[in-house]
């Protein structure tokens, strides 16, 4: 986990007033929205399509932006020979092609539409975190940059004239990877939806005491806490614990060295503590547990996540596995009929095939899986197609400036001129992205190095290659 570089006010939705609840007597029948009338993935509360069990109606997503479409991944014709090109190719061969392991590369000048260098560019390789580009591209083009994910409070019961809620409060997750404590969100992301805001929303309704139950509901996703690479079990390699109701990314502290035993219960307990801190008393015997939100429950308040453009920046630039895997389940919940890794991956595969005509092999969202395969050709075509999308381009790490590239290519012309994504496993070092060359041309590239005994050395070689691209004068 790494601190985010963007911040945005998080919108709150308080759906019913104290007077309305009091007048209704039983607020399951009040004028607020029922549990079957809210879509926790959109940031709105106007669609009666989502049941609180976590299942959703499959959707076709948004119309594609102008210019995005199917094209051949065959590279453009080679650039005309020149002294500068010969020098660049010599440097790239020395950096990428002559090292240990199995390598692939492709460099294309987008300005001239000419290939500068290709090496095993059609050979599938382990992508590692380059995989996140497939996940975030699908989320962006299918859901839109302004999409948000909601964490909501529903209620069943009665509200007395003294402000006592007699019944059950349901804290229902909607796949927001940022939901948590104000301190964790600020320290880790610089933004996010917080439990303190939800507690304040409830207090603003005039509820001053709760007598009954507080339940955490994470049924928007399946109950698998990990990814295919971890046998679907919780694991620190995921950089969090997957849940439809994640709280502080599933960690027990800011040290991020221990995962929660029961994420929805942990979130419900945190919500109860936030209510107390905001002046809402819990009657003796009020139980805190987990359970599904019934259709009869009334929506009382919701907090939106940062928008998808911001979530992409919090995913790609720091290469956050937890965010990528959560977004994959969000994709499955919204577009694939259920919030699971398998359903999300199936949506991504179909979308990438239908939209770009590409067929990478993938079964997760972050690239931890060793089943994943992607070629340099595929990634270069994706990068060329997505260059016009600000939310995508702005989500990438920048050499010498931010994200995982903050300390890469430092002291070279690549600083602030190259941006993109890197990928690392114990035997993998990959680097892909864009570079503005010294002649002003926009270059797009993909370097894959697999089968390494020392990925750190591989990244050092790729950094040299990236710097050579920024120095190229055509």
> Tokens 């005491």 identify what position?
209
- pLDDT digit string (tens) for 24-61? 555 543 445 656 544 444 433 322 223 344 333 344 67
The residue out of 309, 333, 357 marking a domain boundary is 309
| 192 and 237 fall within a common domain | yes
Amino acid 55: pLDDT: 35
Amino acid 72: pLDDT: 86
Q: What value does the mean pLDDT take over residues 437-442?
A: 98
| 152 and 38 fall within a common domain | yes
Alpha carbon of 268 to those of 233, 265, 309: distances in Å?
A: 22, 5, 28
Residue 464 has pLDDT above 50, yes or no: yes
Number of C-beta neighbours around residue 331 at 10 A: 27
| 108 and 21 fall within a common domain | no
Is residue 437, in this structure, part of any structural domain at all?
A: yes
Q: What value does the mean pLDDT take over residues 126-154?
A: 98
| 292 and 165 fall within a common domain | yes
Residue 69 has pLDDT above 90, yes or no: no
Amino acid 25: pLDDT: 55
Residues with Cβ within 8 Å of 109's Cβ and at least 6 positions away in sequence, in order, are 79, 115, 116, 437, 441, 442, 443, 474
The residue out of 291, 309, 327 marking a domain boundary is 309
Range of the domain at 280: 12-53+146-309
| 264 and 166 fall within a common domain | yes
Is residue 379, in this structure, part of any structural domain at all?
A: no
Instruction: Compute the mean pLDDT over every residue in the chain, rounded to the nearest whole number.
Output: 90
Higher pLDDT, 45 or 153: 153
Amino acid 66: pLDDT: 82
Alpha-carbon distance of 229 to 15, in angstroms, equals 41
Tokens of 314: 């919090």
Number of folded domains in the chain? 2
- Tell me the pLDDT band of 100, cut-offs 50, 70 and 90: confident
Higher pLDDT, 65 or 330: 330
Q: What value does the mean pLDDT take over residues 447-459?
A: 97
| 46 and 85 fall within a common domain | no
Alpha carbon of 237 to those of 79, 157, 227, 426: distances in Å?
A: 42, 42, 10, 12
Is residue 68, in this structure, part of any structural domain at all?
A: no
Alpha-carbon distance of 127 to 133, in angstroms, equals 10
Tokens of 43: 């940031």
Q: What value does the mean pLDDT take over residues 364-373?
A: 98
| 87 and 158 fall within a common domain | no
Q: What percent of the chain has pLDDT over 70?
A: 87
Residue 6 has pLDDT above 90, yes or no: no
The domain that contains 158 carries what CATH number?
A: 3.50.80.20
Amino acid 23: pLDDT: 54
Is residue 98, in this structure, part of any structural domain at all?
A: yes
Tokens of 17: 């007033």
- pLDDT digit string (tens) for 242-282? 999 999 999 999 999 999 999 999 999 999 999 999 999 99
| 301 and 417 fall within a common domain | no
Helix (H) or strand (E) holding 304: strand 298-304
| 183 and 108 fall within a common domain | no
Alpha-carbon distance of 194 to 180, in angstroms, equals 5
Residue 17 has pLDDT above 80, yes or no: no
Is residue 376, in this structure, part of any structural domain at all?
A: no
| E strands, 88-208, in order | 102-109, 114-119, 150-159, 164-172
| 191 and 84 fall within a common domain | no
* Mean pLDDT lowest among 1-5, 131-135, 229-233, 240-244: 1-5
- Tell me the pLDDT band of 168, cut-offs 50, 70 and 90: very high
Alpha-carbon distance of 151 to 41, in angstroms, equals 9
Q: What percent of the chain has pLDDT over 90?
A: 84
The domain that contains 450 carries what CATH number?
A: 3.40.710.10
């Amino acid at each position: 986990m790494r601190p985010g570089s963007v911040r945005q006010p998080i919108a709150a939705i308080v759906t019913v007033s104290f007077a309305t609840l009091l007048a209704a007597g039983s607020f399951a029948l009040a004028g607020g929205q029922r549990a079957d009338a809210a879509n926790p993935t959109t940031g709105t509360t106007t669609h009666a399509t989502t049941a609180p069990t976590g299942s959703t109606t499959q959707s076709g997503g948004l119309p594609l932006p102008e210019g995005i479409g199917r094209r051949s991944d065959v590279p453009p014709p080679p650039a005309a020979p020149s002294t500068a090109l010969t020098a660049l190719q010599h440097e790239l061969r020395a950096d990428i092609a002559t090292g240990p392991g199995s390598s692939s590369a492709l460099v294309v000048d987008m300005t001239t539409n000419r290939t500068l260098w290709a090496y095993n560019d059609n050979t599938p390789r382990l992508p590692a975190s380059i995989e996140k580009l497939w996940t975030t591209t699908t989320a962006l083009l299918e859901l839109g940059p302004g999409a948000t994910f909601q964490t909501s409070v529903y209620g069943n019961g009665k509200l007395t004239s003294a402000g006592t809620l007699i019944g059950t409060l349901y804290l229902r997750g909607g796949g927001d990877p940022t939901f948590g404590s104000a301190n964790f969100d600020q320290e880790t992301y610089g933004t996010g939806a917080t439990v303190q805001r939800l507690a304040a929303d409830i207090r603003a309704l005039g509820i001053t005491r709760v007598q009954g139950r507080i339940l955490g509901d994470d049924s928007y996703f399946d109950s698998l806490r990990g990814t295919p690479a971890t046998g679907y079990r919780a694991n620190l390699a995921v950089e969090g614990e997957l849940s439809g109701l994640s709280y502080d990314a599933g960690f027990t502290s800011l040290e991020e060295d221990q995962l929660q035993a029961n994420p929805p219960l942990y979130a419900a307990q945190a919500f109860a503590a936030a209510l107390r801190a905001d002046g809402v008393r819990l009657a003796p015997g009020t139980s805190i547990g987990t359970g599904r939100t019934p259709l009869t429950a009334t929506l009382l308040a919701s907090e939106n996540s940062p928008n998808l453009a911001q979530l992409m920046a919090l995913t790609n630039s720091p290469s956050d596995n937890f965010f990528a895997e959560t977004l994959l389940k969000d994709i499955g919940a919204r577009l694939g009929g259920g919030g699971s890794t398998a359903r999300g991956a199936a949506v991504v595969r179909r979308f990438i095939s239908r939209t770009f005509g590409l067929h990478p092999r993938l079964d997760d969202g972050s690239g931890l899986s060793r089943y994943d395969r992607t070629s340099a050709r595929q990634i270069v075509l994706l990068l060329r197609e997505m260059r016009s999308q600000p939310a995508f381009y702005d989500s990438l790490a920048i050499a010498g400036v931010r994200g995982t590239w903050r300390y890469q290519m430092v002291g070279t012309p690549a600083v602030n001129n190259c941006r993109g994504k890197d990928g690392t496993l114990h035997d993998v070092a990959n680097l892909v992205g864009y570079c503005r060359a010294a002649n002003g041309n926009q270059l797009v590239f993909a370097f894959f190095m697999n089968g390494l005994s020392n990925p750190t050395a591989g990244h050092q070689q790729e950094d040299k290659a990236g710097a050579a691209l920024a120095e190229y004068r055509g």
